[in-house]
Structure 1
Amino acid sequence: MATLIKIGGSLIPGHVEKLCSSLREVAAAHPVLLIAGGGELVDVVRSYRKKLALSDETAYSMAVLAMDQHAYLLAEIGGFAISRSLRKLKKQRTVPQVFAPSDVLLNLPVNDVIDIDRMTSDTIAAFVAGWVGADLIIATDTDGIYSADPDVVPDAMFLERVCACQLTHATSIDAEAVRMIRRWNVRTSVVNGTMPDRLVRCLRGQPTRRTEIVLDCAC
């Protein structure tokens, strides 16, 4: 089974080169798919919304296109292939594929109101992983999920395993993404992408510091 790795926007651009180098080394033995967060580019969209009367749909479209831009960045740095089709993403396994999602997402029917603060790149990554039948690793700039925000609660506990249905508090991934993970039964881990060796060990199924989101628990 392939693994979809969501490269969080917080890792771009500072950690991209080391991450791509590590992924190239491991991809021969472990089929890898990639999707990128919008990061600083989406922050720009949010700043525009404070100054201009942008509709939710326009802001959402701009945010998705920011993910596309980072997809091309990863492909260039890593020597990876770009895929704009979910069907091609599902079939291609020869080299790491980076999914640029705008062709798919911007042609889906939308509700009357789209909240880009709710429909985040984590949620999109969980949807893509579920659709193509891949495991999901969310690579971010924290070690994983804590019992509370460690920046606010210094003695918050690090959670090596947590049931998806218990993730009702603010964490390093958003609540809508958790709902998508549960809907598609996506095996998911959250790992610190600033330390590429942890990401590699997670791909190889080796012990490392990470949070595993458990699906088959009784709540």
Structure 2
Amino acid sequence: MTPIVVKLGGSMAYHAEMRKWVSVLAASGRPLVIVPGGGPFANRVREAQREMGFSNKAAHFMAILAMDQMGLAVVEMNERLTPVRSLEEIESALEDKKLPVWLPYRQCSTASDIPQSWDMTSDSLAAWLAGRLGAEALLLIKQTEAFEEVDDIETLVVAEIIDPLLPVMLGEAALYLAGPVWLEAAGECFAAGQVPGKRFSARAASQRGAA
């Protein structure tokens, strides 16, 4: 079974929903790979760039390091979670029935196909990883419901809910978005072999909770 890549939005860092989502993911029994957002650590990079004036390239690498920092915090939320830094470590963790949390800096800092700017957000890095893994789906967990009124990937980009590079990086994986309203039903969705959230496709009507 191919894995599902799950991006935990950094905006949840100070919200109780993050721990609840982690508990649901850890109990799901599905092969999942967690990608952490940069959260408050990435926000500090933006603030420092404004004050210090360093380049977008430098900020890009710092923001990826911020994801590593967030990932180390997420790992401590459940004993099933384990930090991973490569595709090989992801595969090994899944074989051991662990829930890998991807710390992207080591793998992404030398990748030639990743733009070195703020245009490449943590959502797009999660899509990049999904493409590398041949993932079944990419699930973006966010602290918003704004996407519920949107019907396709192109409109998500226009509404700035996802960045323009995400569809390019996604590959063949299905895209789902889930906000707080999906948390209560998420465990049942996973148990039924489905992916919680609203499914999006290119220029086509989206579907809810489909596998």
TMscore range, shorter length: 0.7 to 0.9
Could you say which residue in structure 2 is the equivalent of 1:9?
10
Counterparts in 2 of 1:174 and 1:97: CA distance versus 1, 3 Å: same
Evaluate the alpha carbon distance shift between residue 173 and residue 217 of structure 1 in structure 2; reply closer, same or farther with a 3 A threshold. same
Question: What are the ranges of 5 or more consecutive residues in structure 1 without an aligned counterpart?
Answer: 147-157
- In the TM superposition, residue 200 of structure 1 has moved relative to its aligned partner by 2.8
The verdict on how the C-alpha distance between 1:108 and 1:23 changes in structure 2, with shifts beyond 3 A counting, is: same
- Distance in 2 separating the partners of 1:165 and 1:20: 29
TM-score (norm 2): 0.82
Which deviations, in whole Å up to 9, do the C-alpha atoms of 1:132-185 show, x marking residues without a partner?
121110000123515xxxxxxxxxxx24xx33345441242222212322xx12
Q: CA RMSD in A?
A: 2.7
Secondary structure of 1:4's aligned partner: strand
**Gap regions ≥5 residues in structure 2:** 206-211
- C-alpha deviation, 1:186, in angstroms: 1.5
Aligned-partner SS, 1:130: helix
Letter in 2 for 1:213: F
Percentage of matched positions with identical amino acids: 24
How far apart are 1:60 and its partner, in Å? 0.8
- Contact kept in structure 2, 1:84 and 1:101, CA below 8 Å: yes
The residue number in structure 2 matching 1:200 is 187
C-alpha change, 1:215 and 1:201, in structure 2 (3 Å) is farther
**Distance verdict in 2 for CA 1:32–1:206, change over 3 Å:** closer
Higher fraction of helix: 2
> Is the CA contact 1:123–1:180 (under 8 Å) kept in the aligned structure 2?
yes
In the alignment, structure 1 residue 191 sits paired with structure 2 residue 193 = no
Q: Secondary structure at the match of 1:35?
A: strand
Amino acid at match of 1:137: L
Q: TM-score when scaled to structure 1?
A: 0.80
Q: Secondary structure at the match of 1:107?
A: coil
Shift of 1:76: 1.0
Aligned residue in 2 for 1:82: 83
Cα separation, partners in 2 of 1:209 and 1:19, compared to 1, 3 Å: closer
The size of the alignment, in residue pairs, is 199
Aligned partners of 1:188 and 1:62: how far apart in 2?
Answer: 27
Does structure 1 residue 68 correspond to structure 2 residue 48?
A: no
